Amino acid sequence: MYLAELRLINFRNYARLEASFSPGLIVLHGANAQGKTNFLEAVAYLATARSPHASADRELVHFGAREEGLPFAHVEGRVQRADGLHHVRVSVTLGEQEGRRTQKAVVFDGRRLPLLEYIGEVAVIQFLPEDISLIVSSPAVRRRYLDVTICQIDRQYCHDLARYTEALRQRNAALRALQEQGGNPEVAWLWDEPLVRHGSYIIVRRRQIVALLDELVTRVHAELTGGRERLRLLYLPCLELGRRAAHQLSLGLRPTVWGTGRDEPTSLHDVETEFGERLRRARDEELRRGMTLIGPHRDDLRFLVNARDMARFGSRGQQRTAALALRLAEMALIAEKKQDAPLLLLDDIMSELDAHRRAYVGRALEQYEQAFLTTGDLDLLPPSLRAQARLVRVEEGRLVWER
């Protein structure tokens, strides 16, 4: 798919913007703080109704908007998909006064949709400078990565995730109250049923998707490193993360952890049974600690290069390469699942890569349906890529087409 038109009103430093785009590579360059990243953020926001950078939607609204009496931001676009041209508008409206809720609305092809019904209509892959945190940061970052990726291809997952999160919140609140004030623990165990039902689907889906990503990432990574290194991606579910898995990881054996082999099918029913069982066994401990200790909210991913854990033993360069390979794998996964190429957004990633990896990324982009790439330095682009790219200079919230 490709973005054919984009219209911004009061988004970040773009007071007004209207632009049309053709397929192919579009390179946005220019000095810092002119709006290159904000532009990519707007496209990401159009596709996901979530900002990769802002912690609250209100931050997205142009600072002058309130004085103008228009306390809202609009991101509107037309996206050409394999099945035709679609129109999307995402708008954020600030509350009348401090403390009032910021409202967000998504209108897709003329119909207002709940967020959960919209996710996945426009697929996007974002390469961000901070992607290395996928490897080295906390498990929560990796779970979020998995969730965002799977939500784009499976709406059922989105629903189950929302329900699971809600059930978990209720169960934790009940456990905390029991820890502080005592009472009948039945009030906590009541949430086991929805927790297990929605959580099991999450576990099964994560397991399948990680297995697919693992295959793709191994291939991409081998090409990036000239075949010298072998990257594996492992799913470490909280369930079944028993002594066996930890033991094998520490010995550096070829991992056969639950969730890697695709030849051991696990039915939803088996996971539900196991999940319910583990929850029942954890009850005393949960009452003591006042929180839910079992479930996919404690899952993690592991990146192994030649069987060594990247988070702990990888060099900075290896970690960066692993993160890049993961994004490229994600790109292939989503294109295959959706039977349509997702939009690519690459935020200033060339400066972090050596010439060999830049050339590889360049080749991947040359064949790609549409990609937006920002850079502070055009010389970092491989010459053949630069030759076919459309160049846009970004200047104080305006786009200047150069070619």
Partner 1 sequence: MSAPEGALPTSVARLIEELSKLPGIGPKTASRLTFYLLRAPDEQVNALAEAVRALKLGLVECERCCHIAESSPCAICRDEGREQSVVCVVEDPLDVVAIERTGAYRGLYHVLHGAISPVEGILPQDLRIAQLIARLDREPIREVILATNPSLEGETTATYIVRQIGDRPIRVTRLARGLPMGGDLEYADEMTLIRALEGRSEVQ
Q: Can residue 273 be called a binding residue for partner 1 (CB under 8 A)?
A: no
Which segment (62-70, 120-128, 142-150, 159-167) binds partner 1 by CB under 8 A? 159-167
* List of residues 6+ apart from 181 with CB closer than 8 A: none
Residue placing its CB nearer to partner 1 in the complex, 110 or 226: 110
CB of 188 to partner 1, least distance (A): 8
Q: Can residue 241 be called a binding residue for partner 1 (CB under 8 A)?
A: no
Q: Can residue 182 be called a binding residue for partner 1 (CB under 8 A)?
A: no
Cβ distance 350 to 380 under 8 Å? yes
Backbone angles phi, psi at 49, to 5 degrees: 60, 20
Cβ distance 25 to 9 under 8 Å? no
Q: Can residue 169 be called a binding residue for partner 1 (CB under 8 A)?
A: yes
Q: Can residue 86 be called a binding residue for partner 1 (CB under 8 A)?
A: no
What burial class does residue 186 get, using C-beta atoms within 10 Å of its C-beta: 0-12 exposed, 13-18 middle, 19+ buried? exposed
* Contacts of partner 1 in 184-213 (CB under 8 A): 186-188, 190-191, 193-194
CB of 339 to partner 1, least distance (A): 19
CB of 218 to partner 1, least distance (A): 33
What burial class does residue 340 get, using C-beta atoms within 10 Å of its C-beta: 0-12 exposed, 13-18 middle, 19+ buried? middle
Question: In DSSP terms, which residues pair with 327 in a beta bridge?
Answer: none
Which segment (20-28, 95-103, 129-137, 308-316) binds partner 1 by CB under 8 A? 95-103
**Binding test (CB under 8 A) with partner 1, winner from 20, 82, 140, 183:** 183
At what angle are helices 316-338 and 355-366 packed, to 10 degrees?
Answer: 10
DSSP, res 8: E
Residue placing its CB nearer to partner 1 in the complex, 202 or 331: 202
- Report d(CA 227, CA 224) in Å as an integer: 8
H helical segments located in 70-138: 115-118, 133-136
Q: Can residue 177 be called a binding residue for partner 1 (CB under 8 A)?
A: yes
* List of residues 6+ apart from 281 with CB closer than 8 A: none
* List of residues 6+ apart from 160 with CB closer than 8 A: 198, 199, 201, 202
Cβ distance 233 to 213 under 8 Å? yes
CB of 209 to partner 1, least distance (A): 19
Residue placing its CB nearer to partner 1 in the complex, 93 or 225: 93
Residue placing its CB nearer to partner 1 in the complex, 129 or 194: 194
Chain centroid, CA 158 distance in Å: 13
Which segment (140-148, 179-187, 237-245, 327-335) binds partner 1 by CB under 8 A? 179-187
The first and second tokens of residue 205, run together, are 């889906």
CB of 283 to partner 1, least distance (A): 16
CB of 170 to partner 1, least distance (A): 5
Which segment (70-78, 83-91, 155-163, 336-344) binds partner 1 by CB under 8 A? 155-163
Q: Can residue 166 be called a binding residue for partner 1 (CB under 8 A)?
A: yes
**Binding test (CB under 8 A) with partner 1, winner from 83, 96, 263, 284:** 96
DSSP per-residue letters across 21-73:
--SEEEEEE-STTSSHHHHHHHHHHHHHSS-SS-SSGGGGB-TTTTTTT--EE
Q: Can residue 171 be called a binding residue for partner 1 (CB under 8 A)?
A: yes
Residue placing its CB nearer to partner 1 in the complex, 195 or 257: 195
Cβ distance 126 to 44 under 8 Å? yes
* Contacts of partner 1 in 100-129 (CB under 8 A): 100, 111, 114, 117
- List residues binding partner 1 (CB under 8 A): 96-97, 100, 111, 114, 117, 155-156, 159, 163, 166-167, 169-171, 173-174, 177, 183, 186-188, 190-191, 193-194
